[in-house]
Amino acid sequence: MTLIAVALIVAALVVYLVAVILQLWKITNGLDEVIEYVGEIVEKSEPVEAIVTSINGQLDAGVDLLEGLLVKKAGLIDAVGLVEGLYPGSAAAGFRNFPESTTIKAPRIGEIYTKGTLTLARLGREAPIAVGNPAGPALRDIERGSLSARLLYPEGRQSRPERMPRSPIIGTDAPVLYPPSEQRGGTTPDAAEIQEKGPWAETAAEGIVPAELGGSDAPRELLADDPQLGSEALGETTGSPVSDVDPAGGDRADATTDGAPDVPPRVEPDLKDAPGEADRP
Amino acid sequence: MTLWWIGNVALFAVFLVVVYLLHGVLTAARSIVPSVEQIAKTAEAGSKDLDAAALLVTTEDQVQQTIAVAANYGGSLDVIIDDAL
């Protein structure tokens, strides 16, 4: 009886102790895994301090540079006012390298900074006339600032530019080409021509003399005695027959004999148009 | 004979106490295991997050270049704009 009781006690102790050992074994394995990852963390974070310190040093140098330049060019008082205008409340903190800036009462430079405007104007730049709120619209944005430029034009080109007549495209690359007989210039376009050429042709109808009143396309008897492009002085050929021209004369030309006009003896030749020695190839 | 029974009763009482204590140790050990596993997962995640720390080298280079550009720009402004005084 006693032996059985002792055996049961020992068995119960063994069961519990083995269970505890198993749990401790799991804990040990888990901690080994933790130690491995912690080692990686330590290894990866080791250079972070040096890099961040270097970045902070660079940024400090940048702040020193910008603060110094602003104070040097605008003066300490105006510099405080400019910063206060851009970031209200920041004047109380002052500049890091200028401790006296915290005692300066910031001037109101919230709208126009005349000195900066004049400086930019002197440099030939388009001067921004105001220091805007960072949250407000861009004042000098070359992409979004076109409305300010468009406001300089009449209303028709501000809000309804898509309905405005387009300028004609001329030249050999024009989408619509006309035969020379129709390109007399200055003719009054009729309705069909306007329909064909587009709305811009209507503008040509204004200020053009109609044919019945002696316009450029009027009959010959309605034109004046000396109409343009029809007189003896304008638009006429020389009347010389083509056979009088030697087409091969240029091939036989000699610069020493044919290259200059006949100059009378003892007359200084006119060399003002002759190229200089340095200009000759 | 009486002492023998008293000894048996005392032994049984000690057995109960030891079993109770061992049960407490086992319960505590079982509660530690999930915590250790969670710590291991967290450490693994933290280690993976620190993989991005290598990008700080690129950031450092970018900051250096940006400050260099700002310095050049400031130098040009220093030349073309008059001083306040």
Digit-coded pLDDT (tens) for A196-206 = 776 666 554 44
- Taking only residues 94 to 123 of chain A, the set having a beta carbon closer than 8 angstroms to any beta carbon of chain B reads 119, 123
Paired tokens of A47: 């250079």
Tell whether A93 lies on the interface with B, counting CB pairs under 8 A.
no
Q: Do A34 and B71 touch (CB under 8 A)?
A: no
Instruction: Name the DSSP class of A189.
Output: P
Instruction: Tell whether A16 is within 8 A of chain B (Cβ).
Output: yes
> According to the per-residue pLDDT averaged within each range, which of A88-97, A167-176, B33-42, B76-85 is highest?
B33-42
In this prediction, residue A30 carries a pLDDT of 92
Residue A116 pLDDT greater than 90, yes or no: no
A240 pLDDT more than 70 = no
| Gap from B16 CA to chain A (nearest CA, Å) | 9
Mean pLDDT throughout A130-140? 50
Partners of B71 in beta bridges: none
Band of pLDDT at residue A114, cut at 50, 70 and 90:
confident
Note the pLDDT tens digit of each residue in A46-64. Answer: 999 999 999 999 999 999 9
Asked, for residue A21, whether it belongs to a domain, the answer is: no
Work out the average pLDDT over A229-255: 62
In a domain? residue A277: no
**Where is A61: in which H helix or E strand?**
helix A48-74
Q: Evaluate whether residue A117 is within a structural domain.
A: yes
Reported as a single tens digit per residue, the pLDDT across A30-48 is 999 999 999 999 999 999 9
Please provide the DSSP assignment of A182-234 as one string: G--SSPPP-HHHHHHH-GGGHHHHTTPPPGGGT-TTS-GGGS-SS-TTTSSSS
Q: Do B40 and A13 touch (CB under 8 A)?
A: no
Domain that holds residue A137: 110-151
- Residue B85: is its pLDDT beyond 50? yes
Minimum mean pLDDT range among A76-80, A213-217, B78-82: A213-217
**Dihedral over alpha carbons A196, A199, A202, A203 (to 10 degrees):** -130
What confidence tens digit (pLDDT) does each residue in A152-210 have?
555 655 555 555 555 556 666 666 666 554 544 555 566 777 677 766 665 544 445 55
Task: Give the minimum alpha-carbon distance from B54 to chain A in angstroms, rounded to a whole number.
Answer: 8
A33 occurs within a structural domain:
no
Q: Does residue A134 lie within any of the structural domains?
A: yes
pLDDT at A230: 52
Q: What is the pLDDT of residue A187?
A: 57
What are the chain A neighbours of B29 within 8 Å (beta carbons)?
20, 23-24, 27
Residues A171, A265: Cα–Cα separation, whole Å: 51
The answer as to whether A30 is a domain residue is: no
Residue B81: the pLDDT is 84
Beta-carbon separation of A55 and B59 below 8 A: yes
Tens digits of residue pLDDT in B10-53: 888 988 998 899 999 999 999 999 999 999 999 999 999 999 99
pLDDT of residue A166: 59
Provide the β-strand partners of residue A95.
Answer: A98
The residue ranges of every structural domain in chain B are 2-80
Question: Do residue B26 and residue A34 have CB atoms under 8 angstroms apart?
Answer: no
ipTM exceeding 0.85, yes/no: no
Adjacent-strand bridge partners of A278? none
CA distance, residue A116 to nearest chain B CA (Å): 10
Q: Does A135 touch chain B (CB under 8 A)?
A: no
